[in-house]
Amino acid sequence: MAARRRPSAPARGHLLVEEPRDVPGFAPRRLRIYTPPGYDGSRAVPLLVLFDGQNVFDDAPSFAGGWHAHTAVEKLARSRPRPIVVGVDHGGADRVAELSPWGRHGADARGEAFLGWVAHALVPELRGRYRVVDGPAGVLVGGSSMGGLAATYAHFRHPETFGGAMALSSSFWIGGGRILEWLQGVSTPWTSQVYLDCGSGEGGGRMAGLTEAVGKALRERGYGADKLRVRIDRRGGHDERSWRRRLPNALRFFYRGA
């Protein structure tokens, strides 16, 4: 009997953890930049910007374990484009304010300014450093919880920069669910893909209901299965473990290959 061939281990990329940098009006911020296997600048690749960078890769800097995004990217089939992934650390005690476009219980809402910095300062810098696919179709923005809300807002607020949003367990309840009203007043980006998911029991089911409502609003403006995926996870919780488990499915939705 012929010996079975063991599947080869996925090729490894490179993770660079930078020193904190100044961000005008906000606390200094660290970037965690992962370049996929084989990236050498000879061809353009997609860029994925994720909020709460402490949780994006390894377990050590995370409060409750990391997403292991680098591992998920490395497991993508070779026929699929593999993105550069940039985790933008959150600002600690200022996290909610800087990721929210609307105030909560009298707290400041500083999302407009912070997301403006990401769109108009950080992404252009990254395009200068790395060879990224041209146009908004080359850049996705994503996150979980407050980061999911911020990603959804950033995509529709800055469609010239972000061609899609990956929003996991999003805090769409902020501002009394104002995201639904706000979306009605903005145009559909000319290039747009949106991934939404949530655990069915998060927030007593309220979060899943809002996630489905956002999905419904997008379908009503013409989003089909190629542009929108909504996943309600019966086993999902509001935690890194659940987001780590769902991340590969989200990546496969966006990075489909030829």
**pLDDT one-digit tens code per residue, 100-128:** 999 765 567 999 999 999 999 999 999 99
Q: Residue 106 carries which side chain, given as an amino acid letter? A: G
Instruction: Classify residue 172 by its DSSP letter.
Output: T
Rounded distance between C-alpha atoms, residue 39 and residue 58, angstroms:
21
pLDDT at 108: 78
List the domain boundaries for the chain: 14-254
Strands (E), 102-202: 139-144, 164-168, 193-199
- The pLDDT score that the predictor gives to residue 15 is 95
Q: Which two tokens stand for residue 194?
A: 């949106």
**SS3 call for 153:** helix
Helix or strand (DSSP H, E) at 230: strand 228-233
Q: Which CATH architecture fits 14-254?
A: 3-Layer(aba) Sandwich (3.40)
Contact indicator for 210, 172 with CB cutoff of 8 Å: yes
Give the three-state DSSP class for 17.
strand
Structure-token pair, residue 156: 């529709």
Mean pLDDT value of segment 235-240: 92
pLDDT at 58: 82
Q: Residue 229 pairs with which residues in a beta bridge? A: 195
Angle at 195 between CA 29 and CA 93, to 5 degrees: 30
* Percent over 90 (pLDDT), the chain: 84
Q: How confident is the model at residue 63 (pLDDT cuts 50, 70, 90)?
A: low
Return the pLDDT at 1: 46
Determine how many CB atoms are found less than 10 A away from the CB of residue 6.
6
253 is written with which tokens? 């939705």
Mean pLDDT of 125-140: 97
| pLDDT value for 65 | 64
The residue written with tokens 């997008």 in the block is 218
Closest CA to 116 of 84, 152, 161, 85: 161
Of 165, 129, 137, give the one whose Cα is nearest residue 39: 129
Tell me the two tokens of residue 62. Answer: 């995370």
Beta bridge partners of 85: 34, 48
The structure tokens 């490395």 sit at: 74
Question: How high does pLDDT run on average in the chain?
Answer: 92
Distance CA 168, CA 149 (A): 9
How far is residue 193's CA from residue 254's CA, in Å, rounded to a whole number?
A: 7
For 28-37, 95-104, 134-143, which range has the lowest pLDDT when averaged over its residues?
95-104
What is the pTM for the complete model shown? Answer: 0.93
